[in-house]
């Protein structure tokens, strides 16, 4: 693979769900509306935003758990189009789900849960080879071999998420969509799981799309961070750049809400409180989706969607007034 070619490339991705509005009428809910980005091999791209902004839908659509309404998804220079493409892609791309309580089958043992992808893709020739692979995967995520015969309900939340991660690693993937993998866990367990993601990335050369709403977690694990609002990407830059120089008014507001452990710094920080509630994606505002809550909104913001443009090296923003307000 050429050095400069992204492992994952998403171009103008759209995911619309038709919602019944009564009397045989329906209307598209634009969960993801024209999102574009790329991820280099071995990189972690963090994807942040409020609940309902379309983060999880992006991850699921990339893996074709939802059929894309529009746009293109490329893996290692090849577009994913046909069912055969999707099947091959799923041997190299998997997902770690948000809720370790509902994403594991309570009727299956740990061994069967982790071994299921091996069976689906016929990756092991013998039972002994299958068992060795399952124990190897359990060792990767810090589970003991005696856990193999137990059921998921016998484990704590953190251990269940480790089982889910071992299952995702079973096909020896290159790319993993991590859908808020620590949000359902205790804070003390979150750090352990985040460090494990780091270690696995180093050991196995993994590439992550890390979806979360906790900005401190995302900063710790991500190389670059993308900010989403109401189905659109509004800012994308390196993790340090987003934290030190956020340019979009929404990113600035998000980061002003991050708690700081130093009382003096916290007192000096000015919290940017947004007015109003997030609009419904069914009735999104015209033009810029953020304009109804933006303190800098002008007439132009209502007329047209701002283009997602590179304003400095590697720093992309979608805002008509980005030069004036920064």
Q: Where in the chain is the domain with CATH 3.40.50.300?
A: 8-92+173-325
Q: State the pTM of this model.
A: 0.92
pLDDT at 172: 94
Q: What is the pLDDT of residues 228-240, one digit of tens each?
A: 999 999 999 999 9
Residue with tokens 């619309």: 16
Q: Who's near 10: CB < 8 A, 6+ residues apart?
A: 35, 36, 37, 38, 58, 62, 71, 72, 73, 74
* pLDDT 10s digits, 38-96: 999 999 999 998 888 899 999 999 999 999 999 999 999 999 999 999 999 999 999 99
pLDDT tens for 93-124 read 999 998 888 889 989 999 999 999 999 998 89
Q: Say whether 274 sits in a helix, a strand or coil.
A: coil
* Chosen CATH of 8-92+173-325 out of 1.10.645.10, 3.40.50.10320, 3.40.50.150, 3.40.50.300: 3.40.50.300
């Amino acid at each position: 693979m050429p050095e400069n070619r992204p492992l994952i490339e998403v171009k103008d991705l759209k995911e619309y769900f038709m919602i019944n509005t009564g009397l045989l009428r329906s209307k598209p809910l634009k969960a993801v509306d024209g999102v574009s980005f790329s991820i280099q091999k071995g990189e972690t791209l963090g994807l942040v935003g409020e609940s309902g902004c379309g983060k999880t839908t992006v991850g699921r659509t990339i893996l074709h758990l939802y059929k894309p309404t529009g746009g293109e998804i490329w893996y290692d220079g090849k577009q994913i189009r046909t069912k055969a493409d999707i099947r091959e892609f799923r041997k190299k791309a998997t997902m770690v789900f948000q809720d370790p309580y509902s994403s594991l089958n309570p009727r299956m043992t740990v061994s069967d849960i982790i071994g299921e992808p091996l069976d689906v893709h016929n990756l092991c020739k013998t039972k002994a080879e299958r068992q060795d692979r399952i124990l190897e995967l359990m060792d990767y995520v810090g589970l003991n071999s005696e856990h193999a015969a137990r059921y998921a309900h016998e484990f704590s939340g953190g251990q269940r998420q480790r089982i889910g991660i071992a299952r995702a690693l079973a096909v020896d993937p290159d790319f993993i969509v991590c859908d808020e993998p620590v949000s359902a866990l205790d804070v003390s367990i979150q750090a352990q799981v985040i460090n494990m993601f780091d270690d696995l990335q180093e050991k196995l050369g993994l590439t992550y799309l890390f979806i979360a709403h906790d900005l401190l977690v995302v900063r710790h694990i991500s190389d670059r961070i993308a900010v989403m609002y109401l189905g659109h990407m509004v800012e994308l830059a390196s993790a340090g750049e987003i934290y030190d120089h956020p340019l979009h008014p929404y990113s600035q507001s998000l980061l002003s809400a991050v708690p700081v452990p130093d009382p003096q710094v916290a007192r000096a920080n000015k919290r940017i409180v947004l007015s109003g509630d997030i609009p419904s994606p069914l009735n999104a505002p015209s033009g810029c989706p953020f304009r109804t809550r933006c303190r800098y909104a002008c007439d132009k913001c209502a007329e047209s969607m701002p283009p997602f443009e590179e304003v400095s090296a590697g720093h992309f923003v979608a805002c008509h007034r980005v030069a004036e307000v920064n």
